[in-house]
Amino acid sequence: MAVKIVRQPNKIAVLGSPTSAAAMSPGHEGAPAALRAAGLIERLRSIGYEVTDLGDDPPQVYKPDEESPRARNLSGVSASLEALKPRVEQAVKSGALPLILTGDCSTVLATIAGVRRYFRHVSLIYMDRDADLNTPATTPSGCLDGMVISHVTGRGAAELVRFWGEPPLVREPDVALFGVDRLDPSEEQVLRNSPLRSYPADDVRRMGPAIAAQTAFERVHGTGYECVLHLDVDVMADFQATNYPGSSGLRLDEVRAALEVFARQKHLAAIDVAAYNPAKDSDGSGAKIVIDLLADVLGKRLEILREAAGAEPVAASAAEGQSSTAQASATSAPAAERAEASSQAESEGDSARVPGEAWSSDAQDASEAPDTGETEVGETAETSGDADETHS
């Protein structure tokens, strides 16, 4: 059955994934509760959003795992992903923008998989100080959060690559690493030989964060595909409320400028916020930075989408007038010309698809099957059926 996802620009669904299983120490699992307690939901409501809090998954806390030194805590990470994925699906289907609060960067696998339940083509903007391109064979630590992009693109730990039944979750050319400032030698080698899009922090600053962000979004087909935005808060220089802070990288104002570009895109399918550690934020200043940042960029998103929605009736009225004129002209044309035009239209049929149109992970041929009914759930995206010593 076809499903029509009708986006609700003023709605956000907040989901918590309290996990530190993929990290190298506990603390991250407290992020969802701490950000709520610091007023995130109230702040989003104050700027005009209707916010639904969908609660938290069962917590998964980091434990030493000396039995699997190349891929630590796989069972806990897998459990967190399995718990979150169906809840992201629910949020996507509602038409709200899913905002996932999590400790682990690995959570993005469930976020993408939840989006792909309804859309075939999904791209990824990965804002992170680290590239997370290690594998069990190259990792110096066994930290699964240092392998996230390898798992997303089908090259990491087999158990997580297979989390999505038809890997990769996202093709390499449709992934942009944005704000990268730390690379292991093995990761540098991968980037030299990969079609992954990489925007190091120095390049972002040289280009200007807004221009770099728009370029990255377009390069990963974000203007045609659904796009997941991942924000690891350690991408911000000198942000201390995280496990692996750094003094270099993108300044807060540069992160904000880039996020404003990403957040205003109509194909933004979900936002995943990771790696805030309340155990390292005794005065709450880190939580305030994160909440202010999200409120700023999501507030601008709401303004832009509302303006666009207000302009649509005007454009539709103009198009209707042009259509009426064209129809009158066609009616006055000779019958032979009208018959020829009709024959040409039938021969073309539906062969021309909209470039970058998003489909579910079912075969694309499903869109050409006989109509079996359509479920409207709430701008409209039509889909077809079910799915398809550092932090390295």
Residue 392 inside a domain? The answer is no
Q: State which residues form the domain around 97.
A: 8-306
Predicted TM-score of the model (pTM): 0.82
204 belongs to a structural domain? yes
Q: What is the CATH number of the domain that holds 299?
A: 3.40.800.10
Evaluate whether residue 121 is within a structural domain. Answer: yes
330 located within any domain: no
Could you give phi then psi for residue 376, rounded to 5 degrees?
Answer: -95, 125
Amino acid in position 79? A
Count of domains observed in the chain? 1
Residue bearing tokens 């897998």 = 78
Name the E strands within the chain: 2-6, 11-17, 50-56, 97-102, 122-127, 175-180, 197-200, 226-232, 268-274, 374-376, 380-384
Q: Is residue 386 part of a domain?
A: no
> Is 60 part of a structural domain of the chain?
yes
In percent, the amount of the chain with pLDDT more than 90 equals 76
Instruction: Give the 3-state secondary structure of residue 105.
Output: helix
Position 309 scores a pLDDT of 80
pLDDT of residue 321: 58
pLDDT of residue 348: 43
pLDDT along the chain (392 residues), means of 10: 85 98 95 98 98 98 93 96 98 97 98 96 97 96 97 95 95 98 95 96 98 97 94 98 94 98 96 98 98 98 89 58 54 48 43 33 35 40 49 50
Query: 3-class SS at 13?
Result: strand
Q: Which are the contacts of 338, defined by CB distance < 8 A and separation ≥ 6? A: 330
Q: Strands across the sheet with 2-6, in order?
A: 374-376, 2-6, 380-384
Quick: pLDDT tens for 369-383.
Answer: 333 333 344 455 656
Cα 71 from Cα 174, distance rounded (Å): 26
Please give the pLDDT value at position 4. 86
pLDDT at res. 273: 98
Report the pLDDT value the prediction gives residue 268, as an integer from 0 to 100.
97
191 within domain boundaries: yes
Q: What's the pLDDT tens digit per position in 236-258?
A: 999 999 999 999 999 999 999 99
In a domain, 26, yes or no: yes
At residue 143, what is the residue type? C
